[in-house]
Amino acid sequence: MWKWLHPYAKTEEAYKLSQTLLPWFGISALIALVAGFAWGLLFAPADYQQGDSFRIIYIHVPSALMSMGAYSAMAIAAFIGLVWQIRPAFMTMIAIAPVGAVVTFVALFTGAAWGKPMWGTWWVWDARLTSELILLFLYLGVIALYKSFDDKQQAGKAAGVMAIVGVVNLPIIHFSVEWWNTLHQGATISKFAKPSIATEMLWPLLISLFGMAMYIGYVTLLRLQNEIIRREAHRPWVIALMREDKE
């Protein structure tokens, strides 16, 4: 049943697949992010309590949700690498980490810029904000741990264990607004309930969310290719490939 997956354990096949997927992710990320932001900034109605400051939601919620989504993807890649010893899995893990860190930073920064006018402070040490900050440190920790080993298979194992252990932080982030008293508002979109947001405001949010996911996919594929080239630099197919698209 899963046999079609096996060729992609080879770095050459994984590279070819990522090359095919790359433009699709890039184009859909660009279109969805531009459309979602423009719709959210220009056409969505203002919030009855927060006025136009609520428009920060169109970058804050997608980045915050996807910072957790990217972390799950990274942990799944780490798990596959540890259990089945598939080399491109660790390469995918380390390709996701930097873009995950950037998206987490975006979530924290836009949250601060939204908190200042609405709460009167850029930052509070409450559960939601602190656990999201820990997520950023987890991403940075995975990157640092991976860099500190010269043997990259060993590095993948060590960083992979850290990535998997860090998954415990994800439910903490998600439920932090329910478990503790916090300044942060509750969930806007939830799988289990009707969204607490008007439809005219929801559509651009969903489009930006999709765009953010595609953006993370695009950067991940780009960095996965880099990692494959770095690790396989002496293979004939890499040398041929690098000669082929010499600018």
Name the nearest CA neighbour of 157 among 66, 85, 227, 229. Answer: 85
Q: Smallest gap, in angstroms, from Cβ of residue 223 to another protein?
A: 5
User: Is 146 a binder of another protein (CB under 8 A)?
Assistant: no
User: Is 242 a binder of another protein (CB under 8 A)?
Assistant: yes
Residue of 63, 67, 92, 176 interacting with another protein (CB under 8 A): 63
Q: Smallest gap, in angstroms, from Cβ of residue 6 to another protein?
A: 27
Q: Smallest gap, in angstroms, from Cβ of residue 130 to another protein?
A: 20
Of the candidate spans 79-87, 147-155, 173-181, 223-231, the one that interacts with another protein by CB under 8 A turns out to be 223-231
User: Is 27 a binder of another protein (CB under 8 A)?
Assistant: no
What's the rounded Cα separation, in Å, for the pair 17 and 228? 12
- The answer for residues whose C-beta is within 8 angstroms of residue 247's C-beta and 6 or more apart is none
Number of residues interacting with another protein: please give it, by CB under 8 A. Answer: 43
User: Is 106 a binder of another protein (CB under 8 A)?
Assistant: yes
What's the rounded Cα separation, in Å, for the pair 97 and 110? 20
Residue of 42, 48, 168, 194 interacting with another protein (CB under 8 A): 42
User: Is 191 a binder of another protein (CB under 8 A)?
Assistant: no
Residue of 25, 32, 36, 60 interacting with another protein (CB under 8 A): 60
Measured from the CB atom, the residue of 82 and 97 that comes closer to another protein is 97
Using CB under 8 A as the binding rule, the residues of this chain from 112 to 141 that contact another protein are 113-114, 116-117
CA angle 69, 71, 76 (to 5 degrees): 95
User: Is 25 a binder of another protein (CB under 8 A)?
Assistant: no
User: Is 197 a binder of another protein (CB under 8 A)?
Assistant: no
Of the candidate spans 12-20, 150-158, 172-180, 216-224, the one that interacts with another protein by CB under 8 A turns out to be 216-224
Residues forming the site for another protein (CB under 8 A): 37, 41-46, 51-53, 55-56, 59-60, 63, 98-99, 102-103, 105-106, 109-110, 113-114, 116-117, 215, 218-219, 222-223, 225-226, 229-230, 233-234, 238-239, 242-243, 246
